[in-house]
Amino acid sequence: MARVRFLHAADVHVALREREYCLEVVDEVAEVAKDAGVDFVVVPGDLFDSFEDMAALWGEVWRRLCGVGVPVYYCVGNHEFLKKGAHEFSEFSTPEGLFWSFDGVGVWEGEGYEVVGVPYRREGYEGGGGLARKRGVRVVMAHGTVQDAFWFSSEEDPAILDPVFLRDFEPDYVALGHIHRECEVRFGDVVFRYAGSARVWREGEEGPRRVLVVEAGEGGVRVESVALERAGRFRVTEVVFGVERVEEEEGFWDGVGPYDRVHVVLRGVVDGLDRVESWKRGLLERYGDRVRTITFEEEVAALRVLSSHRFVQMFLEEMERSRGGCEERVWRDALRLGLLRIREEIER
């Protein structure tokens, strides 16, 4: 059996609202495929964030991916069905070099390999794959969550896939989409592999976004994980508001890149929430054009709101009397944590 080399990319979630960023990621995926000298590319679903995004960016995406000069195999995921309405996937023209499935299992032959496409289906699939082995390496691509992969999934739609159904196709490699974390599970001697999301699509997707370069054939399967620089990172930093000053993570912004999605967690105690809003505006002015986006999470207590409460007044008086009995930093932390704890009790 001859060896073949292919690219496995999934869950790009190309969206019109972030058109330039998404197309830069697609460009990099195409560049990785060219540089790796692959024989073909597989994309197991959620290439687009919704049907509307698919309609708006169909031509631009395939011009880039089919421009690699090798066959591209694609099956739709659950996100391609979002905002679909009465439209049909058959409305799209198929560019040269693209082979895709949307209403049932697709099977295609290449030089020394076969690709089986299993698109997302809400009701799942029944029965066995049951394809006779023809020749060369067989790659199955599918979109959904297989058994034993639930630990890695945070998707609202589980899109359950029966691993037996996929295994019955007798694949050498199963390329999966839907779970945004790179991982693999095994059923017997068959490897089911998720490439993870190729871009930062939502909060919490930490670490590099990746695609997989796979070699399969005589001697088994070898997988190389390739990080995508233009996908950026999801980065989190904590900012603590004290009564007298704001403490930020030293050097954090020095390591942030233009494609990164930054989430800022604000904690602490302030004399008034207008101080927090002013600080946020200043941060956006300094760094807003240096990153892809900045979001905020606020866990801040306002003294103006709390200070009218008698128990809070007693606590502040006691804290003021104890000031100087320990390090200033320790005193400020005790004040902040104490007020937050009191607020929790008041709000119960």
Q: CA-based Rg of the chain, rounded to a whole angstrom? A: 26
Residue 283 lies in domain: 234-346
What average pLDDT does this structure show over 329-344?
Answer: 77
Domain shared by 250 and 178, yes or no: no
Domain shared by 254 and 190, yes or no: no
Domain shared by 291 and 156, yes or no: no
Residues contacting 162, CB < 8 A, separation 6+: 124, 125, 126, 146
What average pLDDT does this structure show over 84-102?
Answer: 97
**Listed residues 231, 250, 280: the one ending a domain:** 231
Domain shared by 271 and 248, yes or no: yes
- Of the candidates 348, 341, 338, 269, the one whose C-alpha atom is nearest the C-alpha of residue 303 is 269
Residues contacting 61, CB < 8 A, separation 6+: 14, 23, 26, 47, 48
Least trusted range by pLDDT, from 58-72, 116-130, 154-168, 171-185: 154-168
**Listed residues 200, 231, 262: the one ending a domain:** 231
Domain shared by 213 and 239, yes or no: no
User: 202-232: string of b/e by CB count within 10 Å (b at 16+)?
Assistant: eeebeeebbbbbbbbbeeebebeebebebbb
* Cα 222 to Cα 219: distance, rounded to the nearest angstrom: 9
**Listed residues 231, 263, 294: the one ending a domain:** 231
pLDDT score of 130 more than 70: no
Domain shared by 64 and 190, yes or no: yes
Domain shared by 203 and 248, yes or no: no
* pLDDT score recorded for residue 326: 85
- Bridge-based pairing of strands 113-118 and 106-110 is antiparallel
**pLDDT tens-digit series, residues 221-260:** 999 999 999 999 999 999 988 766 788 999 999 999 999 9
Domain shared by 115 and 201, yes or no: yes
Domain shared by 67 and 160, yes or no: yes
Which carries the bigger pLDDT value, residue 238 or residue 310? Answer: 238
Domain shared by 172 and 138, yes or no: yes
What's the CATH code of the domain at 227? 3.60.21.10
* Cα 53 to Cα 83: distance, rounded to the nearest angstrom: 9
Percent of the chain whose pLDDT exceeds 90: 65
Virtual torsion, Cα 159, 25, 22, 298, nearest 10 deg: 80
At 325, is the secondary structure helix, strand, or coil? coil
**pLDDT tens-digit series, residues 146-205:** 876 555 555 555 678 888 899 889 999 999 999 999 998 888 888 899 999 999 999 999
Which carries the bigger pLDDT value, residue 123 or residue 120? Answer: 120
Angstrom distances, CA of residue 326 to CA of 179, 306, 313, 314, 318: 49, 25, 21, 20, 14
pTM for the whole thing? 0.86
